[in-house]
Amino acid sequence: MIISIDHFVLTVASLEATCAFYQRVLGFRRIDTPGLPTALAFGNQKINVHEVSRTFEPKAKSPTPGSGDFCLITDRPLGELLASLEADRVTVELGPVERIGARGRMKSVYFRDPDDNLVEVSEYLE
């Protein structure tokens, strides 16, 4: 019945710091639409970004910066991501390590965004 994720929401301390991070580090595209949450688009998905002092209804019961933990899939070699993270002075917390994702074996790298959300970026192993 469910076939994919369209978007999810991150509550953040600073909209500007978060958007700048994801644009710089992962190449996301920022979308600002009046009256709607700011979005960070990538592929066919997006992350809606709610600043803690300016959330939108309906929302999670207790939206808190730094409570996110999610995995993104890359279509590039993980080595390219690692070089990019190093160039952007992003600390790799773990990886590359092998994991099992929704579609099978993958290699993953873990790092944190400005709110300390845990971001996992993975490439599937053929």
User: Residues 57, 86, 93, 120: which is the catalytic one?
Assistant: 120
**pLDDT tens digits, residue range 4-63?**
888 999 999 999 999 999 999 999 999 999 999 999 999 999 999 999 988 788 888 888
Query: Quick check: is 120 catalytic?
Result: yes
The pair of structure tokens assigned to 13 is 């301390």
Closest by CA position to 84, among listed 114, 121, 118, 48: 121
Rounded to two decimals, what is the model's pTM? 0.92
Give me the residue label for tokens 């920022």.
Answer: 30
**Cβ atoms of 41 and 31 closer than 8 Å:** yes
Indicate the CATH number of 7-124 among 1.10.357.10, 3.30.1370.60, 3.10.180.10, 3.40.50.2300: 3.10.180.10
**pLDDT tens digits, residue range 63-116?**
899 999 999 999 999 999 999 999 999 999 999 999 999 999 999 999 999 999
The pair of structure tokens assigned to 66 is 């730094």
**Cβ atoms of 22 and 47 closer than 8 Å:** yes
3-state SS assignment for residue 30: strand
List the domain boundaries for the chain.
7-124
pLDDT for residue 2 is more than 70: no
